[in-house]
Structure 1
Amino acid sequence: MRHSRTASRATARPTTEVGRAVPRPRGAENGPGAVARTVLPGGLRVLTESVPSVRSATFGIWARVGSRDETPALNGATHYLEHLLFKGTERRTALEISSAVDAVGGEMNAFTTKEFTCYYARVLDSDLPLAVDIVCDMLTSSVIAAEDVDAERGVILEEIAMTEDDPGDGVHDLFAHTLLGDSPLGRPVLGTEATVNALTRDRIARFYRRHYEPARLVVTAAGNVDHAAVVEQVGAAFERAGALAATGAEPVGPRSGQRAIRAAGRVAVVGRPTEQAHAVLGMPGVSRHDERRWALSVLSTALGGGMSSRLFQEVREKRGLAYSIYTHTSGYADCGLFGVYAGCRPDRLDDVLKICRDQLADVAEHGLGDDEVRRAIGQLAGSTVLGLEDTGSLMHRLGKSEVCWGSQLSVDEMLERITEVTPDDVRSVARELLGQRPSLSVIGPLNDRQTARLSGAVA
């Protein structure tokens, strides 16, 4: 099981009719590239994308719950529950779950984020009914036995320790906390040693019952699949578990709202005896519902999204100051983050941060050149299409789009949104966002003098 940080993608609103498949534009139901949607009793949504040319299928169930739905005392409960749903149901033991998937050469996993959780299996198309049955069984009929809670606690504590041993990953959690503080979005997905140790079987079971109702779930399948067959199999599995009883329930819609981040010039430093210093310099970004996200994606790509990007060229190619440097964006329902990550030797950190500050300030004031924007648009468009070339990616796009936006964009529509971005759009979002005073998070073996000097890095 894993947790992830994923970039948001936009979608357009569909027409929805309960109990009826609603094909998306640009494709007939069950034809190549077709997307169909059905809402079952209880508000359970089922979406499929047909790719008849492949012999595999990926099946997933998405729960509209993440670490931002936790109270401080429950921090880590969503991820803990993700682990526990693999530990056995009323019909299967944990070994029987894993053995059944292994026996057909399939892959099964799950991940937890701050706003949703996904469980999925990838199998041969002929074994899709098995994957549907197993994943649905896990989501509807998990036992959550007390002994499994106790046993899995040690596994999760090891996972937390593993993350702490990877400062290149941990600095992103630190950056989120630096900007968002002790809020649901600012706390780590995994929880902490203290909160995980305090979670009990009863508290986790109540969390499960509250957040895994059919109206809060989205079922997705992509590959060589038949929509009507998947709907029938999913409906039978949920009905067998008694999970479709609430016939009047409507699907729970996407999150919304507005959250202002007031975090100008904050600095957080965690001393650790590592070989490199790991830093994120950044500021508030935009929410996933903000139309500026398309221009921000182009801006981020041009600044630090590849070998030709400004920061890669300035920091690595011209000066050899770092091996890894890149930009990243995180778009949530009500806010967002933009950051520059760099890993370098501690004695080079001041120089790296100065270059990053100077480049951000230059782009905020003068913008990017037209050639840079065109190159970034081409790179972003190409990577978007290439990233959707397997059934797992297609399943992921279906589920995330439904959970986060309540609708789908076709690949052509996504490419249109990207290519419609103009240099002026990018310059505008650069002025608005990069003109803010940045905050800084660092993990590494810094001495007292270096730590004291870091406040100047965000002046």
Structure 2
Amino acid sequence: MASKNPGFSQPVGSTRTLESTADGSVVKRSVLPGGLRVITEHVPASRSATVGLWVGVGSRDEQPNVAGAAHYLEHLLFKGTRNRDAKQIAEEVDAVGGEFNAFTAKEHTCYYAQVLDSDLPLAVDLVTDVVFEALCADSDVDTERSVVLEEIAMRDDDPEDLLHETFVSAILGEHPLGRPVLGTEESITGMAPAALRGFYRRRYRLPRMVLAVAGNIDHTQVLRLVRKALRDRLSGSDTPVPPRRGRARIVTNRKLALHTDDTEQAHVMLGMRALSRHDERRYTLSVLNAALGGGMSSRLFQEVRERRGLAYQVYSSVASYADTGHLAVYAGCQPDRLGEVAGVLREVLDQVARDGLTDAEVARAKGQLRGGLVLGLEDTASRMSRIGKQELNYGDYLGVEGTVARIDAVTAEDVRALASVLLRRPGGVSAAAVVGPYAHDDDLPDDLHEVIAS
């Protein structure tokens, strides 16, 4: 079931208080002309401020001929603007002891700066300058091409990162969500400066953006700084709407993907399609994931590592997108134990699909989620990320107490019902990926083939 998006319907020029807590924290949202949404969280006890400009553009928005453009562009924007060159950008951040960085994901890109609260004007100016005034010069495109290719090489040198990309490609197929965020050597090598500049002009539009700020800041001051930085860009009457994307059309044939690598360990990931981020059962999925493989007391850790000693690292993970998602389990083991490990992973998934989790496991998982959520509030960067992603993804705000209440409301029966849907045969494991010293699929153990065929 899709959640409503009340934030997208807030009138342009208005400001709303979304939450005011007893400790003095206040969350406000304004919608500026042109469609930019500004959301802030005032944290009175903090001495820092984190500014993040979220753009609803990621690797799923790319055409095949520009695969990796969103991430490539993220690099390129730091190379210089109409007001600063790359060295000036670095010097101004270092001069105040701040951090200025960015990251690109499947469905969004974020540019953020963390500084002392007194340096908030600099942070807003730097972030907006880089995002809106970048030159994207041909020479800089060539320079950053080498840097991005090095980053791809680094990913390929990390078996676990490489495994994740191989698994996502296997389970999501040829859909843009299945492609690596970094792109490929071929797509990056062949990408022309004009293609990147075109991607920048078409995709970086105010209605797709959220400016999130958290720390010892004042909402009115943030608005004043944003208006000063953007000036004429804040014109027009564009309505803030989420980016249009077609629903994921993904082939669901079961797949076993192998990436041959001369590693000391075999790395395996098994998984299945799961929930979109708009599905109301996402809190139940979070509890299921935490209990299944989210910590040392989890079912997978106890069974694979503690009881049988088959792997040093074992865990589960969830990814949720606008219209689909996946749940995966991972283990790294000796190559001659891969078949046994795959069998145990499948056995654990079958048990949870059939019997669910115990009340004690569900209670521990909910406690783990609550603790992680609250401890994350100690950092203004985490607070900024939380309010920015909520606004970008949902156009809504749900406070910590509300989120904890959603987690607490999950029951063992809820988890059992969801597990029976996601993990049951034949709808269970729908894709697997392996990175290790195997030359061909036929070299993989029969037990692993049986997991996929079952």
Question: Please, what TM-score do these two structures have when normalized by structure 1?
Answer: 0.94
Q: Is the 8 A contact 2:268 2:433 kept in 1?
A: yes
Deviation at 1:55, TM superposition (A): 0.6
1:54-89 Cα distance to aligned partner (Å, 9 max, x none): 110000101110000000111000000000110000
Shift of 1:262: 4.3
1:398-417 maps to which residues of 2 (within 5 A)? 398-417=387-406
Name the CA shift for 1:384/1:217 in 2 (closer, same or farther; >3 Å).
same
Q: 2:182, 2:84 → 1: CA distance?
A: 26
Equivalent residue in structure 2 for 1:186, among 178, 183, 196: 178
1:450 corresponding residue in structure 2: 443
Change (3 A) 1:205 1:256: closer
CA RMSD of aligned residues (A): 1.7
Distance (whole Å) between structure 2 residues aligned to residue 87 and residue 259 of structure 1: 34
Q: Which residue of 2 aligns with 1:166?
A: 158
Show CA shifts across 1:245-288 (max 9, x none): 3x111112266765464435311111100111111101001000
**Larger displacement relative to structure 2 (381-390 or 170-179):** 381-390
Distance 1:392 1:158 in 2: 28
Distance 1:259-1:207 versus aligned 2 partners, 3 A rule:
closer
Q: Distance in 1 between matches of 2:250 and 2:302?
A: 31
Report the 3-state secondary structure (helix = DSSP H, G, I; strand = E; otherwise coil) of the residue aligned with 2:19: coil
Instruction: Indicate whether 1:59 and 2:51 are aligned.
Output: yes
Selected match of 1:303 from 283, 289, 292: 292
Query: Aligned to 1:175, which of 152, 163, 167?
Result: 167
The answer for the alignment partner of 2:18 in structure 1 is 24
2:273 paired residue number: 284
Give secondary structure in 2 for the equivalent of 1:208: helix
**Aligned 8 A contact 1:90 1:142 in 2:** yes
Contact 1:257 1:333 in 2 (8 A): no
Partner secondary structure for residue 357 of structure 1: helix
Q: 1 CA distance for matches of 2:375 and 2:125?
A: 31
Change (3 A) 1:386 1:429: same
Give the corresponding residue for 1:6.
none
Aligned to 1:321: 310
Change (3 A) 1:32 1:309: same
Structure 1 residue 370 corresponds to structure 2 residue 370: no
With over 3 angstroms needed to count, the CA separation of the structure-2 counterparts of 1:281 and 1:27, relative to structure 1, is same
Equivalent runs, 1:23-102 vs 2, <5 Å: 23-27=17-21, 32-102=24-94
Q: Are the equivalent residues in 1 in contact too, given 2:19–2:28 (CA < 8 A)?
A: no
CA contact (8 A) 2:267 2:435 kept: yes
136-145 vs 260-269, which deviates more?
Answer: 260-269
Q: How many residues align?
A: 445
Q: Is the 8 A contact 2:300 2:348 kept in 1?
A: yes
The AA in structure 2 aligned to 1:317 is E
SS at match of 1:185: helix
Encode CA deviations 1:400-454: one digit per residue, 9 max, x unaligned: 1111111110000000000000111100100000112312111111255532633
Give the aligned residue type for 2:368.
Answer: Q
- The counterpart of 1:358, out of the listed 344, 347, 353, is 347
| CA–CA distance in structure 2, aligned partners of residues 157 and 457 of structure 1 | 35
State which drifts further: 247-256 or 129-138: 247-256
AA aligned opposite 1:117: T
**Deviation of residue 16 (structure 1)?**
2.2
User: 1:426 aligned to 407, 410, 415, which one?
Assistant: 415
